[in-house]
Amino acid sequence: MQAKDPNPCRVIGVLDDGIASLSPTALALLRNADIIIGGTRTLALLAREFKAGAQRHDLTGKLKDVPEWVRAARADHLSCVVLATGDPLCHGIAPYLAQHLCVEVLDILPNLSTLQLACARIGLAWQDARIVSVHARDAGEWQRGSPPGHGLYALAQAARQHARLLVLTSPDNTPDRIARMLLAEGMGDDFLMAVAENLLQPEERVLAELTPQQAAAMRFAALNVVLLWRVTPSARAVRFGLADAEFVQRQPEKGLITKQEVRAVSLARLQLRADSVVWDIGAGSGSVGLEAARLCPQGHVYAIEKNDADYAIAGQNHAAFGVSNYSLFLGKAPDQLDTWPDPDAVFVGGSGGELARLIGTILNRLLPNGTLVMNFVTLENLATATATLQALDGVSWDVLQLQAARSKPILDMHRMAAENPVWIVCARRKAHHD
């Protein structure tokens, strides 16, 4: 049994109705505290309850200082209270303190989360909801294809996977910006929203059953939380092996799509994981990268295409595909690759005449156990690739030739029509052994 600390730091959850939200135990601990740590608003809300001579620390903008303030209080055998909002363990300060101190020195007295209160106001069951915080550095309005660093990225991903979402907003990532993100991702008709403002304050207001179209044009109080719930069934999307006809392709002549059979084998050779970072170079119609995005729901795909027309087609396929973890760029690799994170897997469908240089760049950036997969239809590119790989130290590689034949009608019968042969070249850096 774990020994109880004789002088723990009390982490007390507080709501915006002040002492009315505190239990008798929490209020007594607050009134007897020697050191009180909290945000500007919370300290002001409860200032009348502090005992004479109690020392206050405002943690606003000084989160990194809080563990040291707690250590100093404990070293001086002073009673210390940290005031948190709602439940300190729900996107609150308690996990941070446990990481930088240790959980044994904390005594956590949770309160209701503002998300629970908001659900109660509109009668929304929340046991199966996904909680998402969009507290992050302001990255501006959401654009389709925004990278993982965007403050709304986690929410865009979660909206693809969950029917109910409870969202802790921020001064930048407001309810109206969230609504515009849903519209940009083509989910404007899929969700209804509720916005709960100034909970437990005289000016409390709860706006229920807003459409994203309505909320996108509104303005809201600074203190708010957002609830989202799906009103249309989620699409039961095929994750792997889509038919070629599912993708928009160049017309009137179809082209620059990795055919279904080759695509399936190439994706298998990439050895993708749920959180893989994937590069798709020479994206063409986007078929490989978009299927990879579905296979890596916690990862991200970065795709680049140099041809304007094919870039536009890949963009159309992205819009139709229902993924938010795919970023498409116009350009010629290896340009722009230095701005992308190191990959777990790289697919090369086109090299723009820079194949040897591209292979070297990719293998230098590839993460441990990562895989490079390249598709070739010409002997010259195959020869360049194998010669380049052969000259590199510490690289293992192999070549697979794939040739499929598809049935075609002939009168009242069928014949087999051969597709062009494709060489699939796979390369990995050899594991180093001490």
Dihedral sign computed on CA atoms, order 221, 226, 232, 237? positive
Is the pLDDT assigned to residue 328 strictly greater than 70?
A: yes
pLDDT given for residue 253 in this prediction = 62
378 exposure class (CB count in 10 Å sphere: 0-12, 13-18, 19+) = exposed
Residue holding tokens 């038919």? 243
Q: Max alpha carbon distance in the chain (Å)?
A: 98
Phi-psi region of 320 (alpha: psi -120 to 50; beta: other; left: phi over 0): alpha
Asked if residues 433 and 418 have their Cβ atoms less than 8 Å apart, the reply is no
CA-closest candidate to residue 422, choices 355, 379, 376: 376
Q: Calculate the average pLDDT of the chain.
A: 94
Q: How confident is the model at residue 227 (pLDDT cuts 50, 70, 90)?
A: very high
pLDDT given for residue 44 in this prediction = 95
pLDDT given for residue 209 in this prediction = 93
pLDDT given for residue 252 in this prediction = 57
pLDDT in tens, 162-221: 999 999 999 999 999 999 999 999 999 999 999 999 999 999 999 999 999 999 999 999
pLDDT in tens, 236-249: 888 889 888 889 88
pLDDT given for residue 254 in this prediction = 58
The partner residues of 227 in beta bridges, in order of sequence, read 166, 194
pTM above 0.85, yes or no: yes
Which residue intervals of 106-190 are DSSP H helices? 114-122, 153-161, 175-184
Residue holding tokens 């192999």? 398
Task: Give me the mean pLDDT over the 365-389 stretch.
Answer: 95
Asked if residues 135 and 177 have their Cβ atoms less than 8 Å apart, the reply is no
Question: What's the CA gap between 258 and 265, in Å, rounded?
Answer: 11
pLDDT in tens, 334-357: 999 999 999 999 999 977 778 999
Is the pLDDT assigned to residue 381 strictly greater than 60?
A: yes
Strands laid side by side in the 80-85 sheet:
55-58, 35-38, 80-85, 9-14, 106-109
pLDDT given for residue 434 in this prediction = 42
Question: Which is it for strands 164-168 and 224-230: parallel, antiparallel or unpaired?
Answer: antiparallel
pLDDT in tens, 33-51: 999 999 999 999 999 999 9
Asked if residues 302 and 340 have their Cβ atoms less than 8 Å apart, the reply is yes
Is the pLDDT assigned to residue 3 strictly greater than 80?
A: no
Percentage of the chain lying above the pLDDT 90 cut: 87
Task: Give me the mean pLDDT over the 75-98 stretch.
Answer: 96
User: Which residue type sits at 147?
Assistant: P
pLDDT in tens, 103-143: 899 999 999 999 999 999 999 999 999 999 998 889 999 99
pLDDT given for residue 273 in this prediction = 97
Task: Give me the mean pLDDT over the 142-150 stretch.
Answer: 95
Q: How confident is the model at residue 250 (pLDDT cuts 50, 70, 90)?
A: confident
Is the pLDDT assigned to residue 433 strictly greater than 60?
A: no
Poorest-confidence range of 57-66, 235-244, 260-269? Answer: 235-244
pLDDT given for residue 432 in this prediction = 58
